[in-house]
A = this chain, B = another copy of it.
């Protein structure tokens, strides 16, 4: 196999770990070229308003990557309403080996028509929004694999997705070597990483965090102010789900 191109999409208001988890796995495959793809070259401010990540290539420069990763974040619904991104995604998906998403990146895949009537997953707080966009949410699956499309659960699930993807594409030994390289031998000091495992009080605190994250999108410019009607409906649906 020659050089494979991996395109990781960046946009203002995204969640950094959604992208950096898969990046740190995929970039360790020899002969893989990783690109951070966006509308313009240069820094993109993530959802914290503090961390900037650099776009290395425009969408136009990257028409046919073998692997596509769409990260999520509170601004994912704005990207799901961005025709230029959706057109690129549909076109690139025609020739990609795998088109994938992490967290609410699945909403972008769904808006692009890649998940119509198909099982998929996303962040636990966005499963309702994913259903609204025509997919069949699989709330209890970490990674959902379809026909050249794979979706991962929230944020940290991108690491599991990428290791699976490397195993599938480059063989299990390569994936295991990368797992060892990044010493991914998880030993979380708590066990509250899924709603089914977290107490009611912890779930309420996390929901308040999600509302705070959405509110914090001011720094990402006028994303929310310029939202279309469909996009505002998505926002409202997500916020309703979050506040429940």
Question: Interface size class for chain A?
Answer: 35 or more
Given contact pairs A20-B20, A50-B34, A189-B164, A182 touches B156 in the complex (Cβ within 8 A): yes
A50 near B24: Cβ-Cβ < 8 Å: no
Q: How many copies does the complex hold?
A: 2
Return A73 CB to nearest CB of chain B, in Å: 11
Given contact pairs A28-B209, A43-B43, A190-B172, A154 touches B182 in the complex (Cβ within 8 A): yes
A243 to B31, CA, bound (A): 21
Q: Mark A204-239, 1 if CB is under 8 A from B, else 0.
A: 011001101000000000000000000000000000
15 contacts between A and B (CB under 8 A): A16-B20, A17-B21, A17-B23, A27-B48, A36-B51, A43-B54, A51-B54, A154-B182, A155-B182, A163-B188, A172-B190, A174-B205, A180-B202, A186-B186, A186-B193
Chain A interface (Cβ within 8 Å of chain B)?
A: 15-17, 20-21, 23-24, 27-28, 30, 34-36, 43, 48, 50-54, 56, 103, 123-124, 142-143, 153-157, 159-160, 163-164, 167, 172-190, 192-195, 197-199, 201-203, 205-206, 209-210, 212
